[in-house]
Amino acid sequence: DLRGLAHKTGVRIGSAVAVDPLTAEADYRRVLRREFTSVTAENAMKWESVEPERGRYTWEGADAVVDFARHNRQAVRGHTLVWHNQLPAWLTEGTFTDEELRGILRDHITTQVRRYRGKVGSWDVVNEVFNEDGTLRSSLWLTRLGPGYIADAFRWAHKADPRAKLYVNDYNLEWIGPKSDAALELVKGLKAEGVPVHGVGFQGHLSLEYGFPGDFADNMRRFTALGLETAITEIDVRMHLPVTEEKLAAQADYYRQALSACLSVRRCAEFTVWGFTDRHSWIPGWFEGQGAACLFDEALNRKPAYHSLLALG
Ligand code: XIL
């Protein structure tokens, strides 16, 4: 199984976890526990989930994921502290001064990281802060706090748990290009200023439509050369439906190449899939006419992609 592969290779193999099936579906729990050495909450640690109203914290979902992981000796990846999406309405619609907003962000990061100190080994501190052209994405944080919010976020997170590995995480970072160049410059700059940044996460939301990023391993090595960890944090490989044998074979090849890239790079610490089963995947809801992006089908049967990963062991 994948757990065996993770132990053999020294790379954590993880999955995003949705709280509803974790609670309601025994077969979902069984596969999650059998196959994975790491878990990431798919939504339960996002701001709107943990603080839906100002000052009212709802940790039930996040705790359920962390408790499951502890019970099954799995690592936990924290996702995510600073993002422009899935923010609570009180925050996006509230009227705060810049100073108040800064305090709100600092308190959020401090509260959440402290709560899971020693339990969450790695945090996606900032998520999706770049545009495709490499400029910083316009967001509440950038507009109101300026680009320094990124360094601040890392410093606050580090203070709250000095042992946690702190990551920059983004999509379309797999290719060498303006976006990954910008990420490289950002982490270089942060390190030069002594900001506690430890890793870069490549989400890895791939599509058969766009081809496999052939320079993925070379790209990761640019970050390794700066002394950083890398991780594939949210991989899935979507296809236009219907599913065919050919598409499943091509998908298997993408997954295999992605894990090979990670295995070929020193300090690629983790390979996490964004959901392990087509029964619960965000793809059909977000990409019209697409789906079947995971390692297991809806009945939890292993797909060719699963076997292609095991073959790397
Ligand atoms: C997605 C979840 O999978 C969905 O359930 C939710 O509705 C929207 O967010 N990049 C990320 C993840 O960093 O947090 C996103 O997760 C997928 C894209």
pLDDT of residue 114: 98
pLDDT of residue 274: 99
| Catalytic residue check, 128 | yes
User: What is 2-310's CATH topology?
Assistant: TIM Barrel (3.20.20)
Of 262, 273, 295, 200, the C-alpha closest to 40 is 273
The predicted complex's ipTM stands at: 0.99
What separation in Å is there between the alpha carbon of 149 and the centre of ligand 1?
22
pLDDT of residue 253: 98
SS3 161: coil
Of the candidates 35, 128, 229, 270, the residue annotated as catalytic is 128
Ligand 1, CB within 6 Å, residue ranges: 42-43, 127, 203, 234, 282
H helices of the chain, in order, are: 2-9, 19-24, 26-35, 47-50, 60-71, 89-92, 98-115, 140-145, 149-160, 178-192, 216-224, 245-264, 283-286, 304-310
What separation in Å is there between the alpha carbon of 22 and the centre of ligand 1?
17
Ordered per-residue pLDDT tens for the chain, 313 residues: 999 999 999 999 999 999 999 999 999 999 999 999 999 999 999 999 999 999 999 999 999 999 999 999 999 999 999 999 999 999 999 999 999 999 999 999 999 999 999 999 999 999 999 999 999 999 999 999 999 999 999 999 999 999 999 999 999 999 999 999 999 999 999 999 999 999 999 999 999 999 999 999 999 999 999 999 999 999 999 999 999 999 999 999 999 999 999 999 999 999 999 999 999 999 999 999 999 999 999 999 999 999 999 999 9
Residue 306 CB partners (closer than 8 Å, separation 6+): 2, 295, 296
Q: Which of 83, 286, 287, 290 to mutate to test the pocket of ligand 1 (most atoms within 8 A of CB)?
A: 286
pLDDT of residue 67: 98
Residue 136 main-chain phi, psi, to 5 deg: -75, 135
Task: Give the residue, by CA position, lying nearest to ligand 1 atom 7.
Answer: 282
Atom from ligand 1 closest to the CA of residue 18: 5
Overall pTM surpassing 0.90 (yes/no) = yes
Residue 240 main-chain phi, psi, to 5 deg: -75, 135
Task: Give the residue, by CA position, lying nearest to ligand 1 atom 5.
Answer: 282
**Measured distance CA(32)–CA(16) in Å, rounded:** 10
Domain limits of the chain? 2-310
| Catalytic residue check, 93 | no
SS3 content of the chain, % helix, strand, coil (to 5): 45, 20, 35
Task: Give the residue, by CA position, lying nearest to ligand 1 atom 9.
Answer: 43
Of the candidates 42, 51, 174, 234, the residue annotated as catalytic is 234
pLDDT of residue 169: 99
DSSP state of 81: E
